[in-house]
Amino acid sequence: MSWLGRSFGSSQQGRAEYGLRPAFGPSLPSWRQIRLLPRILTAHEKRAALSLIILVVFGGLALSWRLYEKSTTVTPQIGGEYKEGVVGNPRTANPLLATSDADLDLAFLTHRGLFSIDDQGKITEDLAESWELSPDKKTYLIKLHPNLRWSDGQPLTAADVVFTFASARQEKLASPLAGSFRDITITALDDGLTTSFTLKEPYVPFLYALTVGLIPQHIWQGIPFEKWLQSEASLKTVGAGPFRFNSLTRDGQGNIYNYILESNPYSYEAAPYFKKFSLRFYPDMPSALEALRQGMIDGLGDLSSQDKTNLNPNRFIVYDITLPQYTAIFYNPNTNNALKEAAIRQGLSYAINRPDLIQQALLGQAQPATSPFTFGEFKTKTNTQTITYDPTKTIQLFELAGYSRTEGDSIFKKGDQLLEITLTVVDNEVQLRVANVIKQQWEAVGVVVKIQPVANYLLQSEVLTPRNYQALLASEVVGLDPDPYPFWHSSQVAAPGLNLAQFQNREADQLLVEARQMFDESARLEKYANWQNILRQESPATFLYSINYSYAQNYSVKGFSRSIMGQPAERFWSADGWYRRTTRSRASK
């Protein structure tokens, strides 16, 4: 406003304006003058003045906050509870007996091994402080950190290391890890910290085998091996992980539905930020997803593409983690005579249209797989020839095996015997969608297909252990050093071995043994290429696809940092660094 251009109105207004007029050049207004502003400003000027005041106030606040942010840093605070959802029910937290995802989750949180896997998927020391390898590549000397303790406060020594791996290979224990340690001489040295592992032959992925959690001799040595699984210590476990057992709750049927861990005060690592870490167990994925959406749990893994679309992106962050795994159809020739024929197995593989299967059943969220190797040079340099979709080839192979179709009949027969297969599948939405597409594709080439769903909690006892299936739709996680031996060597055909296809071939066995002994990577890859040629000819399985592991967490949880892992439970390697509570502290100069 121009003071000189304003005319006088009433005498009161004139006195007001006169009071505002500077007498001797520009100067700051007095408080009395400021108080008179509302009387002389127009409505428009009042709004402009108010906007200016608000702008100045908020600008000052913003500037102050920026200065505060620059001079301080956000730091995590200890406190609170984290709740993880898990589908399934655990039998044990003992890492030597863990088989299901639920078992492995408990084992990873409560136990630590000599080595672990870092955020880039590389092997790194954990309870081991250092290690040496002999020139002949057969003897490892591994030294523990000094002054390690178990979660009950007892000392952890090399004697516990020897006890762990000597127990793993005991036949009465029936550990799934037995094959990895059967022919190894394990000795504790006099210093109480160093253990010697002497192998009969070099074994390239050996350090990966030592990521399994150690177990305390003073807890387990008095329990007969055949009773370990039923013992109280199996779930009320003692380990050396960042968390230790606090309590568990069972439902009316005796199933565990809540397992609570607390910070382990004897861990050699820094204390976890969460004081409590709970695992909530659910019978199926729909109920676990609903718990996540309702805020009853903070995290949930193994999400399908459909599951991810049903989550609110403003509340949850979804991590897609590289997981070296494949899904395949494993054929059991011992339960179906037709599957004894390599031509039939090959024909079934040629009948699968993988891109169509992935699009229909998985919304396109997977990559086609044609071999057990799913990433890196193991995939690109060993899989020189593949079986791809060719229904004409399928029909030729079926006819080569002695099957035929009469005019007007679409089903292949050999005499009076129909070409019929029962496909066993875990009873969940995604697996059933995949199975139904496979059924359609096989029926299109003249195969009678029956789908047999089985509840997830019965899979181990009623299907895998007794090898009770004709064709099994299943996934195998092969690890970051994808040694096929545990999944394809003939020594692993019986449970707890993982040779689900019952594949037995002497030449293939020899190639697997030689490959795992070769530190020269190019020579090792050549062995695997030759092995895959045999696998393709025999077709003991139809490889379908590989898929990333999708893991959701509430946005309030910070600190997750996995981009690759060897198995789903490895998402917990850095769980001691997860947090929710924060504060700001003065930044150091």
Q: For residue range 243-268, list pLDDT tens digits in order.
A: 999 999 999 889 999 999 999 999 99
Which residue type sits at 119?
Answer: D
Strand ranges in 128-285 using DSSP code E only, listed in sequence order: 128-133, 139-144, 184-188, 194-199, 243-250, 256-263, 276-282
Look at residue 558 and tell me if it is in a domain.
no
With a CB cutoff of 8 Å and minimum separation 6, the contacts of 381 are 525, 529
Angle (deg, nearest 10), helices 521-538 and 506-515: 160
Please indicate, yes or no, whether residues 464 and 525 belong to a single structural domain of this protein: yes
Q: How far is CA 427 from CA 192, 309, 452, 457, in A?
A: 49, 21, 9, 10
Which of the pair, 143 or 46, is modelled with greater confidence? 143
| DSSP character at residue 303 | -
CA distance 340 to 342: 6
* Strand-pair category, 325-331 with 471-477: antiparallel
Ranges 17-26, 364-373, 545-554, 559-568: which has the least confidence: 17-26
Is 342 a member of any domain? yes
Domain with residue 178: its CATH number is: 3.40.190.10
Residue 552 lies in a domain: no
| Antiparallel, parallel or unpaired: β 448-454 and 420-426 | parallel
- For residue 178, give the 3-state DSSP assignment: helix
The 10s digit of each residue's pLDDT in 69-82 is 677 677 899 999 99
Q: What is the tally of structural domains in the chain?
A: 3
Closest CA to 166 of 242, 206, 217: 217
* 139-144 vs 471-477, strand pairing mode: unpaired
Helix (H, G, I), strand (E, B) or coil at 250: strand
366 is a domain residue: yes
What confidence tens digit (pLDDT) does each residue in 106-117 have? 999 999 999 998
pLDDT score at 53: 79
Q: Tell me which residue range forms the domain holding 362.
A: 325-546
Do 289 and 241 belong to one domain? yes
pLDDT at 31: 64
Q: Phi then psi for 315, rounded to 5 degrees?
A: -110, -25
pLDDT surpasses 80 at 16: no
Residues 470 and 510 in one domain: yes
Query: How far does CA 397 lie from the centroid of its chain?
Result: 39
The 10 Å Cβ neighbour count of residue 494 is 10
Report if residue 556 sits inside a domain: no
Cβ atoms within 10 Å, residue 523: 12
Residue 275 shares a structural domain with residue 348? no
What pLDDT does 27 receive? 59
Which pLDDT value is given to residue 342?
A: 96
543 and 396 Cβ atoms separated by less than 8 Å:
no
Reduced to 3 states, what is the DSSP secondary structure of residue 316? strand
| 421 closest CA partner among 400, 394, 465, 452 | 452
Last residue of a domain, one of 33, 48, 73: 73
Structure tokens at 33: 């003058």
Residue 528: both structure tokens together = 């695997």
Across 102-106, average pLDDT: 96
In a shared domain, residues 54 and 114 = no
pTM: 0.74
Alpha carbon distances (Å) from 105 to 93, 95, 218, 277, 439: 8, 10, 23, 12, 33
Give yes or no for residue 549 having a pLDDT over 80: yes
Q: Say how far residue 80 (Cα) sits from the centre of its chain.
A: 24
62 and 133 co-located in one domain? no
Lowest mean pLDDT among 41-45, 138-142, 471-475: 41-45
pLDDT at 497: 85
Residue 82, H or E segment:
strand 81-87
480 pLDDT above the threshold of 70: yes
Cβ–Cβ < 8 Å for 123, 117: yes
In terms of DSSP H, where are the helices of 294-416?
A: 305-309, 342-350, 354-362, 376-380, 391-400
CATH at 372: 3.10.105.10
Instruction: Give the per-residue pLDDT at 374.
Output: 79
Confidence band for 323, pLDDT divided at 50, 70 and 90: confident
Q: What is the mean pLDDT of residues 173-196?
A: 92
Same domain, 172 and 207: yes
Residue 5 reports pLDDT greater than 70: no
Which residue bears the tokens 């071995």?
Answer: 497
Instruction: Return the number of other C-beta atoms located less than 10 Å from residue 80's C-beta.
Output: 15
